Chain A
């Protein structure tokens, strides 16, 4: 990539902390999602650590939790805590247990909108929490910046669920995925991927249809 640019410009750009170059340089540190189709498409091969990932949903019930349950299962099995902040419904214990989560390390936080963002930030900042999932229907840019900063400081994975109408909103998240159900399958579109290329669309192939849960118990040893 560097050859494409005049060297002086390349040097000037390289010296800036706020400029990052797509699909180049060091791969981000990641944690595998447990879905091969997704992992091969994501830069670094999984959910980015120490960063915010946004999952934009057309509607709830497209498999948005199924997509992250294997990650949560692995984290809790490796003694990390995970938190679900302001979920729209009850995170259903039998389903979480079926997916292999160690429920003793799962925390649910019920809260209103603004407090939800605050709670997510507090949890993200805490190194004991491997991943924090937050449902934030309305997230201001400043708030998402705070969350991103909190994740950066602790190295945790921040996963944010937002409705698709937030598509046009400015975002500091390292990864933005749009999730929707098409042809009986979950289609993932990469809207933005730091360190990778955006615009790809694919199906989470190995993700089962509703009703036949993944329940993948992945070995805990593979955790970073």
Chain B
């Protein structure tokens, strides 16, 4: 196995909604513990991670500070994991929280690339491609390659050249500084106080004595670093639902301005859809609002319904933008979330390989399913004839899964539309043509005594009416449409 590790140093910064970056040149992401608040990522290279926020503010008075959003960082990692699906199917990621010393969290994503190296035409090309892929999602990472997960991550942090086999690994680890390892701060300080600086020096120590000093957990880590112990991990699988949100550090007043965060979320959705090889037809947005005029506003929910499943980012974006244009926000937006739960593979424009008729019947069934889902099963039916001379009994609404088999009674010409209920005519219409007597039906208690005829309605339209010989009234029963 060969692991590619991406060290995402700026992830806390990149995971944010970017509203800040558009409005402030200098901004930092901070983490707090107790009363202390320190910088974990910064847009300004002069302000380094680990710096206390108050000190940072003394250097740059106009510094904008935003608290870290761990949930959003995980979402960003998930998106990168979906993007990484293009390079290998074993993917995992982890955020190492900063230890008691004040440093940045370490966000690492791993992909197993041993099986796909050949496909991409070698390591250099693969690295190039994945770097561009990440850049298109507005993330930058440094990469490390090694046969073990931890070694790949350590090499990525140190910016060391790739190591493609176990034989080369010990040499590569020898010169690796301890700071690149994922050891907790206490262990690292302990080793540093003993005068150890490089990984190689630590690995040379007698095992038993070392375990006593640094503990079993750190020892297991070192074993996983060298490949002496196996990695027990769960591989990332895209979840069944897609749900992402952006928390705006600065409220957005104008729905026009939502276009940018919208594009970001849809980009993440597209990534997810590609990883799952599926498409989306229905999804919805939710905008939560800030308080304004002294009152709360309910969230604005925008349901999107595409005519067919798609994973075309451009198409989804176009449709959504259009929809967003019609939305007026009652108050500035505080968060924007995108939720998709129903997925279906896009039809695609594939050529018919097999019988097109079979496919078209399948399509027909699929569209009927959709209609029934929305309108109810009873709303979709087939007209069927029944061998009966009484107009009401001569037809039947048949469920679609049954094939109408009735024989048509030998009837005179009938109008194309039949009224659901015969309608009383207020004044006698002018009769056209012959009168047809339809009578009988005592056997099933639907006894008719009617004289049917064609008649003229308003504007020259033709109706089919009858004289009920029971009550002597005239009724309209059909339309010669």
Residue ranges of A at the interface with B (Cβ–Cβ < 8 Å): 58-66, 69, 79, 81, 87-99, 103-104, 106-111, 115, 118-119, 121-123, 125-129, 146, 150, 180-182, 184, 209-213, 215
CB contact under 8 A between A89 and B408, given known A64-B481, A119-B371, A127-B360: no
For A93, the chain B residues whose CB sits under 8 A away are 383-386, 394-396, 404
CB contact under 8 A between A122 and B479, given known A95-B413, A210-B462: no
A89 touches B418 (CB 8 A): yes
Alpha-carbon distance between A95 and B400 when the two chains are bound, in angstroms: 20
CB contact under 8 A between A97 and B416, given known A128-B363, A181-B460: no
Chain A CB within 8 A of B361 CB:
yes
Chain A residue nearest to B371 (CB atoms) is A119
Task: Tell me which of B156-164, B261-269, B373-381 binds A.
Answer: B373-381
Question: Interface centre among A59, A128, A182, by most B CB within 10 Å?
Answer: A128
Number of A-B contacts (CB under 8 A): 179
For B384, the chain A residues whose CB sits under 8 A away are 93, 103
A210 touches B454 (CB 8 A): yes
Alpha-carbon distance between A115 and B380 when the two chains are bound, in angstroms: 13
CB contact under 8 A between A210 and B395, given known A92-B416, A107-B368, A125-B307: no
Alpha-carbon distance between A122 and B408 when the two chains are bound, in angstroms: 31
Question: Interface centre among A92, A97, A111, A122, by most B CB within 10 Å?
Answer: A92
Task: Report B73-107 residues with CB < 8 Å from chain A CB.
Answer: none
| CB of B336 to closest CB in A, whole Å | 25
B385 touches A97 (CB 8 A): yes
Question: Interface centre among A64, A79, A95, A215, by most B CB within 10 Å?
Answer: A95
Chain A CB within 8 A of B427 CB:
no
Residue ranges of B at the interface with A (Cβ–Cβ < 8 Å): 307-308, 357, 360-361, 363-364, 366-368, 370-371, 374-375, 378-386, 394-397, 400, 403-404, 408-409, 411, 413-420, 432-433, 454, 457-463, 478-481
Alpha-carbon distance between A111 and B414 when the two chains are bound, in angstroms: 25
CB contact under 8 A between A66 and B478, given known A92-B395, A93-B383: no
Alpha-carbon distance between A62 and B458 when the two chains are bound, in angstroms: 10
Chain A residue nearest to B407 (CB atoms) is A97
Can you sample 25 A-B contacts with CB below 8 Å?
A: A69-B416, A81-B364, A87-B417, A89-B417, A89-B419, A89-B420, A90-B395, A91-B383, A93-B396, A94-B385, A95-B413, A95-B415, A95-B416, A96-B383, A98-B411, A99-B416, A103-B382, A109-B375, A110-B379, A118-B374, A126-B360, A126-B366, A126-B367, A127-B360, A129-B364
| CB of A174 to closest CB in B, whole Å | 20
Chain B residue nearest to A61 (CB atoms) is B461
A211 touches B432 (CB 8 A): yes
For B403, the chain A residues whose CB sits under 8 A away are 104
Alpha-carbon distance between A60 and B400 when the two chains are bound, in angstroms: 28
CB contact under 8 A between A92 and B420, given known A65-B481, A98-B408, A122-B367: no
* Sample of 8 more A-B contacts, CB < 8 Å, known A87-B417, A109-B375, A119-B371: A62-B460, A89-B420, A93-B385, A103-B385, A121-B307, A209-B433, A210-B454, A212-B413
For B371, the chain A residues whose CB sits under 8 A away are 109, 119, 122-123
Alpha-carbon distance between A118 and B370 when the two chains are bound, in angstroms: 11
| CB of B400 to closest CB in A, whole Å | 7
A128 touches B375 (CB 8 A): no
CB contact under 8 A between A92 and B460, given known A97-B408, A103-B385, A104-B403: no
For A91, the chain B residues whose CB sits under 8 A away are 383, 416-417
CB contact under 8 A between A126 and B364, given known A69-B416, A92-B417, A119-B375: yes
Alpha-carbon distance between A105 and B425 when the two chains are bound, in angstroms: 35
Chain B residue nearest to A108 (CB atoms) is B381
Top-7 shortest CB links A-B: A181-B460, A61-B461, A210-B462, A128-B364, A93-B395, A93-B383, A210-B480
Candidates A64, A107, A123; contact of B400 at CB < 8 Å? A107
A109 touches B380 (CB 8 A): yes
For A109, the chain B residues whose CB sits under 8 A away are 371, 375, 379-380
Chain B residue nearest to A69 (CB atoms) is B416
Candidates B363, B413, B417; contact of A213 at CB < 8 Å? B413
Alpha-carbon distance between A107 and B361 when the two chains are bound, in angstroms: 13
Alpha-carbon distance between A182 and B460 when the two chains are bound, in angstroms: 7
CB contact under 8 A between A122 and B370, given known A90-B420, A127-B363, A211-B480: yes
A210 touches B432 (CB 8 A): yes
| CB of B312 to closest CB in A, whole Å | 14
Chain B residue nearest to A127 (CB atoms) is B360
Chain B residue nearest to A119 (CB atoms) is B371
For B478, the chain A residues whose CB sits under 8 A away are 89, 92
B375 touches A111 (CB 8 A): yes
B383 touches A92 (CB 8 A): yes
